[in-house]
Amino acid sequence: MPPLVNASRCTGCAGKEESFCERACPGDLMAVSPQSGKAFCRAANECWDCMSCIKVCPSGALELRIPYQIGYFGARLRPILGRNSITWKCRDINGVESTYSYRNRTN
């Protein structure tokens, strides 16, 4: 499933020749619409949920829609990258939200 784009947060990486999500996508599936200036996935059926675009989005506008086989509709998972950590915001199928933070680099 392609990432869900929060249009109110997406800036399309304004001022950049290529957005972060476009540069990070290994399948060259992410693009920024010339009309709206917002990111979108060109071929949703080809997205393999690698989360590269989600992890690099500087405005936190992208999140993963967990496939229904795993979490049913409505479940979401969103990473927030810190300098030395990653925080995962999770929402289950009942709307219950949880936050998990992990250190991902050592000094």
Set 48, 68, 72, 102: catalytic member: 48
**How long is the chain?**
107
H helix intervals, 1-105: 20-24, 52-56, 68-71
| Whether residue 88 lies in the annotated active site | no
Q: Which of 83, 90, 44 is nearest to 63 (CA)?
A: 90
- Enumerate the active-site residues: 48
